Structure 1
Amino acid sequence: MPVPEEPPRTGAHARGPDAPVEVRRSRRRSRTVSAWREGDVTVVAIPAGFTRSQEREWVGRMVARLAAQEGRRRPSDAQLASRATDLSRRYLGGRAVPTSVRWSSNQGRRWGSCTPTDGTIRISDRVRGMPRWVLDYVLLHELVHLLVPGHGPDFWAELATYPHTGRARGFLEGYGYAQDRGPRPSPDGADEPPGDDEDDVDA
C-alpha cells in the first residue's frame, strides 16, 4: 500500500532557477495558486491540501510564469531609453530629448530623477516590474522636467496629455504607503499577494 505524501509545513523554502522560493500553504485556498516577489524571495501560495508532487509541479510552473511576466515588465536600459523616446514623441511632440535614460539603484525614495543641464534621466529600480502604465508615467514625469522646471501649473499641464497620470500617481502613493507599513500576514499565516506584481491561476 503506497504511503501518502506528507505535505511540508507552511513557509518551507525551496530554490528556483534564480532565487530562493518560499512556499506558503493556505487553508483558504482550494484551487488557486499565486506567485509574487518579496525582495529576493519568490513566494508561491498554494492550497494546504496539495501533495509534495503537486507542490513541485506548481512551484516550477509559477516561477516560470512569473519570470516571463517580469521579463515583459522589466526592460533593459536600451529598451527604457527607446520607450522614453516613444513617449516623448507621442505625448510631448518629441520636444523632450534626453541624452541618456537608465535604471538606477541610488534614487532613495524617489521614483526617478532628471538633470536638465546634461539631459540625463534615471529611473529607480523600485519601478522595475510595476505595471507598464506606471513606468510610462514615471518616464513622462522626468521627460517633462527637461521642458519645465519644478511642479507648477505648466508642468502638470504637460502631463495632462497622458491619460493615466492620476491613476499612476495613486498607484505610487499606495505602493509607497504599503512599503512603509510592511506586509501583514493573513490569519492562516499565508500572506496575500500584493496585487499587480503577482501571478494567479487556477490549479
Structure 2
Amino acid sequence: MDGPEVEVRRSKRRRRTVSAYRDGDKVVVLIPASMTRAQEAEWVQTMVGRLQRSERRRRPSDGQLLKRARELSDTYLGGLAQPETVRWVENQRSRWGSCTPGDRSIRLSTRLQGMPGWVVDYVLVHELAHLLEHGHDAAFWAWVEHYPRAERAQGYLQGYSAAAQLGAPGEEQPGEEGGTGREAGAADDVEGETDRAHGADVEDGADGRR
C-alpha cells in the first residue's frame, strides 16, 4: 500500500495489544508474535492510518509556525529576525531546518513533528539567527544562545539522531514497551486491542550546531 515505510516487530510478550509510533521516516508497528499474516496486514493498515490522523491533528499549520517564529524573534532576538514564510517540508532528511536569507524563508523538516515544543522552538530560533548571521561563527551562536533551552535541545536532537542510527529491524527491543527503548522524539503512540474491531486509542505522547 502507498504510505510511509513500515517496520513490523513481533513480540512474544504481547498478547492482545497492537501499537504504532513513528521512528524518523518510518512507522514501527508492534504486534503479538501469534498474529497471522492476514491479521498483521489488517492491523498495519489500521494503525498507520490512525497514527497519520493523530499527527495531522497535532501538526501546527504553516501560518502557526510563522506566528510562533515571530514571537520567538521578539522574545529572544529583539524582533530583529522577521521571516516572510515558515513552512514544513518533507524533503529534508539530513537537516532539521534551513533558511534562505534572500527571501527570508524558513523550512522545517517534518521529522520534527511530534517532538517537544521547546525542541521545535530551538530549531526555529536557530534558523531565525541565520537571518541575522549567515554563517556559524561566534556571533551566530551568541544569538542562538539567547534561547534558554538551546543546549538541552541540541542534546535532544543529538540523542535522536544517534538512536535512529542504532535502531535495527527485528524482535521488539528491550525497554520498548516501557518507553526507554524508543527513540527520543517519537511522535504520537497509537495503541489498540486485538479483540476489538479496530478500537485503537490515541495517546498523547544532529547536532544542533550544523
TM exceeding 0.5: yes
Residue 183 of structure 2 aligns with which residue?
194
1:107–1:45: structure 2 CA closer, same or farther, 3 Å change rule?
Answer: closer
- 1:86 partner letter: E
State the one-letter code of the partner of 1:89.
D
Larger radius of gyration: 1
Is 2:60 aligned against 1:71? no
Question: Aligned to 1:140, what secondary structure does the other structure show?
Answer: helix
- SS of the aligned residue for 1:43 comes to strand
Q: Normalising by the residue count of structure 2, what TM-score does the alignment of the two structures yield?
A: 0.65
> Offset at 1:132?
1.9
Which residue, out of 93, 98, 101, partners 2:83?
98
C-alpha contact (below 8 Å) 1:73/1:132 kept by paired residues: no
Contact map agreement 1:74 1:128 (CA 8 A) in 2: yes
CA distance in structure 1 between the aligned counterparts of 2:192 and 2:92, rounded to whole angstroms: 38
Q: Mind listing any 5+ residue stretches in structure 2 that lack a counterpart? A: 177-181, 194-210
Q: Pairwise CA RMSD of aligned residues?
A: 3.7
Could you say if the C-alpha distance between residues 121 and 67 of structure 1 is closer, same or farther in structure 2, counting changes exceeding 3 Å? same
Whole-angstrom CA distance in 1 between matches of 2:125 and 2:85: 14
Range that drifts further, 163-172 or 71-80? 71-80
Which of 161, 168, 175 lines up with 1:184 in the alignment?
A: 168
Q: 1:27 aligns with which of 12, 15, 18?
A: 12
Relative contact order higher in (CA < 8 Å, ≥ 6 apart): 2
TM-score, normalising length: structure 1:
0.67
The equivalent residue for 1:141 is 126
C-alpha distance in 2 between matches for 1:106 and 1:202: 31
Aligned residue among 110, 113, 119 for 2:104: 119
- Is it true that 1:130 corresponds to 2:115 in the alignment? yes
Provide the aligned length of Structure 1 versus Structure 2: 185
Structure 2 Cα separation of the partners of residues 149 and 120 of structure 1: 13
Partners of 2:30 and 2:22 in 1: CA distance: 11
